[in-house]
Amino acid sequence: MTSMNEPASTTASSPTHQSQAEARATSSMPNINQLSLEHNPDIFTIICCNDSFQLALDHSTISTLLRVCKRVRPLLSSKVPRFHSWWRNVGLWRPNGSLRFALTPSEQIALSLHCEYEGIADRSWLDNQADLGNATALFFLAWIHQIDLDSQQSVNKHKQEAICQQIFLYLENAAKGGHSRAQYDLAGFYLNGIEVDKDHTKAAELYRGPADRGIPQAQVALGRCYEIGKGVEQSYDTAIEWYSKAADQGSEDGRLHIVSLRRWLSFIAHGVGQSDVDAFNHWQEVSTQSDDPVIKSIATHMVGWMHYLGRGTVQDKQNGVKIIRENKSDVFKLGEDECLAYWSSTSSDSPVACKFFNLCQMGSDRDWLCRHLMAICVFLGFGTNRDPEKAAVIFGQLANDGHSDSQFWIGVCYLSGFGVSEDYEKAFKWFGKSADQDNSYGQWCVGYCYYLGEGVPQDGIKAIEWFRKSAEQGNRYGQYFLSVLYQDGEGVPQDIDTAIFWLYKAVEQGYESAIIKLLQLDE
């Protein structure tokens, strides 16, 4: 690489010593697209598509470098295939002929110049280059170790930790050498606390380097830092600026991040006109088109709520609940059980949890749903510190404003003694207010209180009545408890066929308790 750069640098800095032919060659601006067709693509890439060259050289200098490249083409044409042969021998080539992970053409050329072994899988030449501080070799070794780790499922935990530590060290040294993608990958270690304590400030600093050098993934990641205020001061405007830089380079991920953030702003009328229809349509777009697990999960969750409440689209409660339930994953842990019924609890400080909480908090003073969802996050410790007392205050305020889902949740607080003193009578009162607004979860819990005699005298007939109202709205909890009462003959004559009918309804919606009950009946 040095031999390629030095002559060109001298020529470019001393135009008075150029020959007339050289002067004519460099006097006009070359057409970059045209040159890419006239020269070997790999050679052209190392000159014109490398970050450092783009920042440091003008068109005249590039023109001279291309002539130098033409003279070294025979050397490269023999070494690049040798490097690819070595790549295959060490198992880094997919069956379809593509590389297991991406190296730019310029990086492949840089490594191929040092690849001395053909037909064998010896890595010593690569280790030697890493020892000399070759940033590309260090990055390459990090990914080779990651592939080895992914392919060795039976490796013991101690060895896995040792490999992860080695990957971190390779990336750290490559990042110090200015390798953009190593900086990007290393930022993820700091962001998620892998092999190092979590450090959002360090992660943002590492993202900034490759983002400034125009790498779209880093621009999106840095935009996300500004959006959630992790490692940098929160700024939605700056977040959109970075997303826009990525989108301007054709990044669909960048564009969809802009769409996602702007829809929240539209939903809560922050700087733009409020529009449920726009919010729904764009959340739907992100939900169906994005590959980013963070914004896709959040957008899909909100699409579910919009269907459930009939905001921006025709109300379809069952479809909304189904979307919320099926959207739950290891990435986004809020489903029906956690968000609508409080039948289970989860906490998380993952990036998606923090982003969701911050978005809800941003709109908490403008839209009741954002405030309600923020309270759920606070209650569960999802993306923020868990604080049931604070959540109960918010639920109580929204319940007094007449929101049936918040009435259900303050009922849960009183029933369980979370954030308030346990009080079954108050719990029943709030469940009743929610049920009177046709909320199927409120109806289910009114039936539950009658069934167990909590806050109200035990009454099997009334329990059946309220469970039926909930079940007929498609609520799987109401369906399950209605089945139990028919099976046991409580409040109604025992009827196994009707019990199984309602049990199947709950099973069809994946309710685990119903599945277990059905298996017991089959036995």
**CB-based contacts of 471, cutoff 8 Å, min separation 6:** 478, 479, 482, 502, 505
pLDDT at position 108: 77
pLDDT at position 68: 59
Mean pLDDT score, 144-161 = 76
Dihedral sign from CA coordinates of 500, 506, 510, 511: negative
What pTM did the predictor assign? 0.66
Backbone angles phi, psi at 348, to 5 degrees: -165, 145
pLDDT band at 16, cuts 50/70/90? very low
User: H or E stretch including 100?
Assistant: none
Q: What number of H helices and E strands is found in the chain?
A: 29, 0
Mean pLDDT score, 50-54 = 53
Q: Is the separation of the CB atoms in 480 and 503 below 8 Å? A: yes
Q: Which amino acid is at 34?
A: Q
Cα 67 to Cα 9, 55, 57, 106, 448: the distances in Å are: 13, 20, 15, 17, 82
pLDDT band at 355, cuts 50/70/90? confident
pLDDT at position 81: 77
Could you give the CA distance from residue 351 to residue 100 in angstroms, rounded to a whole number?
Answer: 27
Residues of the chain with pLDDT > 70: what percent? 81
pLDDT tens digits along 370-399? 999 999 999 999 999 999 999 999 999 999
pLDDT band at 64, cuts 50/70/90? low
pLDDT at position 14: 35
pLDDT at position 26: 37
Q: Is the separation of the CB atoms in 364 and 356 below 8 Å? A: no
pLDDT tens digits along 240-262? 899 999 999 888 888 888 887 87
User: Is the pLDDT at 206 greater than 60, yes or no?
Assistant: yes
Q: Is the separation of the CB atoms in 370 and 268 below 8 Å? A: yes
Terminal C-alpha separation, the chain:
74
String of DSSP letters for 148-212: HHHH-TT--HHHHHHHHHHHHHHHHHHHHTT-HHHHHHHHHHHHHTSSS---HHHHHHHHHHHHH
pLDDT tens digits along 464-513? 999 999 999 999 999 999 999 999 998 899 999 999 999 999 999 999 99
Cα within 13 Å of Cα(430), Cβ side: 26
User: Is the pLDDT at 187 greater than 70, yes or no?
Assistant: yes
**Ramachandran assignment for 402, one of left (phi > 0), alpha (psi -120 to 50 degrees), beta (any other):** left
11-25, 55-69, 78-92, 278-292: range with lowest mean pLDDT: 11-25
Average pLDDT, the chain: 83
pLDDT at position 161: 84
